[in-house]
Amino acid sequence: MPKRTDIKTILLIGSGPIVIGQACEFDYSGTQAAKTLKSLGYKVVLINSNPATIMTDPELADSTYIEPITKEVVQNIIKLEGVDAILPTMGGQTALNIAMELHESGALEGVQFLGAKPEAIKKGEDRQAFKEAMLKIGMDLPKSHYAYTQEEALKAANDIGFPLIIRASYTLAGGGSGVAYNIEEFKALAKAGLEASPISEILIEESLLGWKEYEMEVIRDRNDNCIIVCSIENLDPMGVHTGDSITIAPALTLTDKEYQRMRDASFKILREIGVDTGGSNVQFAINPQNGRMTVIEMNPRVSRSSALASKATGYPIAKIATLLAVGFSLDEIQNDITGTPASFEPSIDYIVTKIPRFTFEKFPKADSTLSTSMKSIGEVMAIGGSFKESLQKALCSLECGYYGLNSLTDDPSLARKESRRPNAERILYVADCFRLGLSVEEVHSLCHIDRWFLHQISELVAAQESITSDVLNDPAKLRRLKSQGFSDKMICYELERKERLEISESELYNLRKEMGIVAVYEEVDTCAAEFLAKTPYLYSTFTLMDSALGEQCGSVADFVGCQAVGEGIYLSGNEQAHRADSRKSAQKPTPAKVMIIGGGPNRIGQGIEFDYCCVHASFALADLGVESIMYNCNPETVSTDYDTSDMLYFEPIDFERVRAVIERESPDGIIVHFGGQTPLKLANSLTKIHAKIIGTSAKVIDTAEDREKFSHFISALGLKQPENGIAYDKEQAFSVASQIGYPVLVRPSYVLGGRAMRIVQDADELRTYMEEAVKVSEKSPVLIDKFLDHAIELDVDAISDGKEVYIGGIMQHIEEAGVHSGDSTSVLPSVSIAENLLDEIRQSTRKIALELGIVGLINIQYAIHKDSLYIIEVNPRASRTVPFVSKASGIPLAKVATRVMWQGDLQEALKFYDKHNRIDFTKSPLESIPYKHIAVKDSVFPFQKLSGADLLLGPEMKSTGEVMGISTSFGISFAKAQSASKNTLPTSGKLFLSLADCDKPYATQIAKSFIELGFSVCATEGTHKMLESAQIPSSCVLKISQGRPNIQDLIMNNEIALVINTSDDSQTKDDAREIRRQVLKSSVPYFTTIAAALVGAESIREIQQNDINTPRALQDFFA
């Protein structure tokens, strides 16, 4: 059947900001959906509050709304655009929940659901409806009860018995879920689950801890054709959220009978739920003792696992699901990679390993134990010819300083304890247990990881222990080590550790080449080489594919390393042979080709914003007629979509593997400036092997990144910077700090996201801190700055060709100095900076960029202190604000910069991309014509997911994502951004005011502002007396430690509309910290800085008079 012609305009709902459980995989799926719908001739209307997404690029949809994803806003867009149909299955839980809310309110009358009907969504998402549906078709489920009150929950607990799993309905990434081992834990979890569920429903079920967990990615069309795209096995047993578990594709420890049972069950589940035009994810658990299989849950939408399965197989689930949603059947859709029908089930002849990326170092007080509520920020994926090779490549991809199965401890008690406790590093502690002599059975009793995987890890440890200097003269041994995934760095490390033999990575690499031990590159083709692949999507392997070797059921043979690829590999887990025939290497591209090195896994400080820049670089190269080679290891991203670039390498971003691809491809240029700190750190090493880095040189990068060189450079230009000094150890640090005077800001070199940056108040704080700072900087100098108290900070994104400079945007931070720029609320253009200071910023930016020798993007951070301009830092690369500035200004900065880096002409590049004639080419530096609108970027934090984390902000970045508000008014834009970040401003009610001593002078100003707006004010005793003495009306409320009812009770009883709470570090352990925790639990809007609170008051004044739910398409701002 051809596409549907009864619908013309389709609304695509995005997932909003990057949060734990909902990352850039939904930008990937949303982008695929938008491109597909537009190619079919539909009018595409898109809403997403996240400016750092490719899907919100104005050319992707016909109408793009960067607006809060709320019921009111979406309803207004539907009316405004005349929407015929809505596709809610591409935007994660956010899109599903909004769609269901609109449906149940009757607001979607006459608007059709695509991808999944409301009835199917309800059956899949509502725990009770799902249970009833599964029982109807004879599926085995864990023993369970539903509860809507605490009393019902306690009754269910008594009936089932401990331990218990609590799951909340309609929540994201296991929100409101957990494992309870006793009645006190259960009461707390049940309360949290009921609060987290939008329908106040929780499922209480028997514990399946220790069971094996599997996932099936399933697609079904309107003709009831069903296929399994990919089976996925969780290495961690049940009890750890699948998003936090190491996962492997295909499933390796299933018998053929078990696999077929699971496959058949998946199809039955989709039919019963009613998913008939799209993809779903179905999760199962198997008891390893008796083989009992139970259904855990299903997602009637594209999910995080869908993105992983798409990248693991090369099968574009989101694109196929979109085509199915508008009327096509699987046999009518062509597989882009092979040209065969999409109804062919993908088959793979390699092993894929996904490892989640955590950022607990940012939240030292957060609980790092993994459970059923997701905590990871990002993930990596690696492809290898065996599980061992795939696992070690994945570990090297994490950007955690690992170069394989690193050892963490030689303490037996610690190794046992951490192997028993689910945590981010458990697999390394498991390896340490084997190093300490424990058997597979002993380790299995600790962690319950399947014995087959433990045998593989045990063999890797044994192989690692066998590394000695004879490997340098034994090609067979070296080949075998490489075939098991051992990196050159790990081999060098072992030689130095055991024999004090110092050999560099480059020396070992060259030795291997002389021996003929080099990686071969295989294609990801969806069909195990049965058909010729048309799209070059490659991975490296050293594994010999020898069909004569086999192991027990479920294994992939651990082959001896060899370069021969003409033989076969068998996945005996399903008793099905998947032969990997010798295949042709990818066609050589045209002579003009550029390699883009991506940013690796999402983590705090380096997220989707950098992937956005890499994708734009690829698009710009296509505009230039230059072939693009994308290199990355993140399965969630648009950059690793097979059709984003001309060639894709899915590999760890380390010197060894990057070098190998450079030697294979001989690119005419390499871009290291768009992927954040990850590729930037490779610049010096790549320059030494004469790799052609285009744009800003490695020498310039080093000058800007090395704090000592940078300080000298700024001084030589005659520009101001905070008084500072250099320290390499504690003694120097004390000397410099006492000379400058406290408070000081300690800043290590070569880090992103403010890692280990602190404001230090005295010598005692400095003494305990310096160890971390020096360790993080990796022997580079540490700069100690005088902290500029109450300074206004600004960010500038600019582009230079070495001759002229374009100012992309000057962003003013709402929060004062001391809050990391990535966490600050920013406004573009600035709203309160004097014109003479703005001009000084423009000229200083031009001077720095030209004198430094920037070719491409540059980001400079400034501070204004007592009417003087100071340079804080210079980043000779793309910054995380590039997408925001691009959306706000209408100029795609990363595309312009790419064109400049390749052709060297800034004016030509700007003219090519200035579609709206926004740039004044008479100015120097060049700049856009003043905006008629104002854009505000706000940050989104993971505090609710990480129990124990405090929401106070500082110089170390804590946010996971961002949102944008845009309108013709600053106050409305600010309010929209607050709404989009789930901190919706109230227009009336009671304000609770609790200020640190240093902020108390602002108490009267804040209280007056809110009283004028119609708010009442309450405060604790000290602040209340201050307000009383100023004749400002307020009520006194008890601190938590003073008795009941106290402020915590008022927040829990929904009596507080807004909280303004600031605190010194010294106060974070007292009542203030508990207040902030309760604010998070109760989802009460809050501000933790004076500056934000004052702007909030002005914003509330505007929204009392104007409707912030009136949407406006991004395209209209530049019409």
For residue 396, give both structure tokens.
């090297």
Separation CA 900–CA 913 (nearest Å): 12
Q: Any known ligand binding at 989?
A: no
Q: Any known ligand binding at 786?
A: yes
For residue 591, give both structure tokens.
């002579």
Within 13 Å and on the Cβ side, how many CA atoms surround 161? 2
Within 13 Å and on the Cβ side, how many CA atoms surround 1090? 21
Separation CA 72–CA 629 (nearest Å): 43
Separation CA 448–CA 442 (nearest Å): 10
CB neighbours (10 Å) of residue 1092? Answer: 25
Q: Any known ligand binding at 788?
A: yes
Separation CA 1088–CA 1059 (nearest Å): 8
Q: Any known ligand binding at 145?
A: no
Separation CA 485–CA 556 (nearest Å): 14
Query: How big is the chain by its Cα radius of gyration, in Å?
Result: 29
- Asked if 842 and 798 count as a contact pair (C-beta separation under 8 A), the reply is no
Q: Any known ligand binding at 208?
A: yes
Q: Any known ligand binding at 793?
A: yes
Q: Any known ligand binding at 215?
A: no
- Asked if 683 and 655 count as a contact pair (C-beta separation under 8 A), the reply is no
Q: Any known ligand binding at 819?
A: yes
| 746 burial via Cβ count (<10 Å: 0-12, 13-18, 19+) | buried
Separation CA 371–CA 355 (nearest Å): 16
Q: Any known ligand binding at 961?
A: no
Q: Any known ligand binding at 297?
A: yes
Q: Any known ligand binding at 818?
A: yes
- Asked if 727 and 784 count as a contact pair (C-beta separation under 8 A), the reply is yes
Q: Any known ligand binding at 1037?
A: no
Instruction: Classify 716 as helix, strand or coil.
Output: helix
- Asked if 306 and 283 count as a contact pair (C-beta separation under 8 A), the reply is no
How would you classify the pairing of strands 112-113 and 85-87? parallel
Instruction: List % helix, strand, coil for the chain (3-state, nearest 5).
Output: 40, 20, 40
Q: Any known ligand binding at 479?
A: no
3-class DSSP string for 543-566? CCCCCCCCCCCCCCCCCCCCCCCC
Q: What is the phi/psi pair of residue 378, to 5°?
A: -150, -165
Separation CA 806–CA 891 (nearest Å): 11
| Distances from the Cα of 599 to the Cα of 231, 347, 395, 822, angstroms | 27, 29, 15, 17
Rounded to 5°, angle at Cα 127 from 124 and 130:
50
Separation CA 643–CA 414 (nearest Å): 46
- Asked if 111 and 86 count as a contact pair (C-beta separation under 8 A), the reply is yes
- Asked if 530 and 544 count as a contact pair (C-beta separation under 8 A), the reply is no
773, 775, 779, 782: CA torsion to nearest 10: 0
As a whole number of angstroms, the longest Cα–Cα distance in the chain is: 89
For residue 875, give both structure tokens.
């980043």
Instruction: State which amino acid sits at residue 603.
Output: R
Q: Any known ligand binding at 416?
A: no
Q: Any known ligand binding at 820?
A: yes
Separation CA 844–CA 857 (nearest Å): 15
Annotation: binding site for Mn(2+): 283, 297, 299, 861, 873, 875
Annotation: binding site for ATP: 127, 167, 174, 206, 208, 213, 239-241, 283, 297, 747, 786, 788, 793, 818-821, 861, 873
Annotation: binding site: 127, 167, 174, 206, 208, 213, 239-241, 283, 297, 299, 747, 786, 788, 793, 818-821, 861, 873, 875
Annotation: binding site for Mg(2+): 283, 297, 299, 861, 873, 875
